[in-house]
Amino acid sequence: MENRLAELAVELFEINAMKFGSFVTKAGRPTPVCFDLRVIISHPRLMKSVSTLLWTLAENGKSASQICGMPYTALPIAALISAQSNIPLLIRRKETKSYRTKKIIEGQFKEGENCIIIEDIVTTGSSVLEAVKDLTDVGLKVEEAVVILDRQQGGDHNLSAEGIRMRSLYSLTSLMQYLLNAGKVTSAIVQDVKSYVEQSKDQLNSEENSVSRLRIDFASRAKLAKNPAAAKLFNIMSAKKSTLCLAVDLTKADEVLDLAELAGPHIAVLKTHIDLLEDFTSEFIDKLKQLSKEHNFLIMEDRKFADIGHTVSLQYRNGVYKIAEWADFVTAHTVPGSSIVSGLQDGLKGIKESRGIFLVAEMSSEGALTIGEYVKHSVLLSETSNLVAGLVCQYNVFDDPGLIQLTPGIRLEKSRDDLGQQYKTPQMVINAGADLAVVGRGVTAAQDKLSAIIQYKEKLWQAYSERISN
């Protein structure tokens, strides 16, 4: 095995699968080495050797029911492994299909089957973790990933933290040693790469020693919030021991007010879709604001603004509902880019009360297109304005402890409805980063609404308490 790895390292070097000099990684960090393993597909014999060696690393190879090849470089290698081992191949698409089945996982499989991920290069492990999420979402079990190269920038650690074992043919350090022994690189190049690896470790240690937002209590995070409304919400959640956001998607004003009166002492936020009301009046808003003050909860209008800045400004401030005058928070899609934030900011002219935006980074509906780069750009947008109070997302996609993660789709048991809504349990969403959890039909459809409210409140708070204590 050792001799074959040494030979393979030289073969990869000779087909220009790696270059040395001054480069920048996808994450924007400088690096002295650049890899392009896609060239392997032009060398069939070499590709077969890589696939054979790679599969010897799989601890659960004999018990695996499925293999998932990561697009694009690892996919042909995974296909060879699949053919040689007679284990079915799955493909995890980079984006959900916009037609027909709208699948993100292609292939035939059964719930509960064990799947091994095949990847070419792991840096931080984020791509593998995204694949794990998609595979587990459809009922598969993932415990192992085999990769060609570990760049030693935290990938192994991050995957291990999520219960995924990673085995690699090469670490960046071992690969350089093979090339040095073969006379393909100089000791100066090896030293540059070694220094790079050490710097990466130092950075990882620094990040590890910093406290994750998931371990900081709400009262402390209130002091870190740049948005005043977010700070107020953190303090309310801490004081009331509640992370519950109640969605009152009802069509009658009196029904909304009655539920707000009942739930008020137990919730942190009441979330409305104001255009559902068939009998909306300004008097309704006055009564809702009074209940908000009396029971110390905030109001969120789930408007999901998504137009150009000028239009959004008018929608926010004017029209029948005059949302800017009464909603502490609103939601907004990030499709328009930064103009969505500037438009809402413009709509607050003359408003003295603190307001905040929750940007929709991910949605809870099956087949949602809010994935990949869209999520990353949404997070970046959240950093551009103090008007942003948090993000609507399903997973822990940001680090700022001053922002709030709002997660919808909560039920006491994991389920889904007939229209593609996917529900997760309180424990699942809190562990996935939720600070504020949205419950709707779990309460509005309950026979004993007060009992349901208290049950959700207590289960969510228990999960939050365990999260910060762990």
Give the Cα separation of 169 and 149 in Å (integer): 6
Q: What is the number of other CB atoms lying within 10 angstroms of the CB of residue 60? A: 15
| CA distances (Å), origin 251, targets 256, 274, 444 | 8, 9, 12
According to DSSP, the β-strands at 66-69 and 89-92 are parallel
Give the Cα separation of 136 and 367 in Å (integer): 15
Q: What is the number of other CB atoms lying within 10 angstroms of the CB of residue 26? A: 9
Q: Residue 440, annotated ligand binder?
A: yes
Q: What is the number of other CB atoms lying within 10 angstroms of the CB of residue 65? A: 17
Catalytic residues: 302, 304, 307
Q: Residue 399, annotated ligand binder?
A: no
Cβ-based neighbours of 451, under 8 Å, separated by 6 or more = none
Question: Tokens representing 432?
Answer: 């996935």
Q: Residue 97, annotated ligand binder?
A: no
Q: In whole angstroms, what separates CA 379 from the centre of its chain?
A: 10
- Label residue 67 exposed, middle or buried (CB < 10 Å: 0-12, 13-18, 19+): buried
Contact indicator for 16, 61 with CB cutoff of 8 Å? no
420 dihedral zone (left: phi>0; alpha: psi -120 to 50; beta): left
Give the Cα separation of 432 and 450 in Å (integer): 27
Give the Cα separation of 255 and 453 in Å (integer): 16
Give the Cα separation of 155 and 169 in Å (integer): 14
Cβ-based neighbours of 200, under 8 Å, separated by 6 or more = 151, 152, 153, 154
Question: Tokens representing 370?
Answer: 């809010």
Residue 345, classed as helix, strand or coil, is helix
Cis peptide preceding 456, ω within 30 of 0: no
Tell me the HSE value of 272 on the side-chain side, using a 13 A CA sphere: 28
Binding residues: 249, 271, 364, 411, 421, 440-441
Binding residues for substrate: 249, 271, 364, 411, 421, 440-441
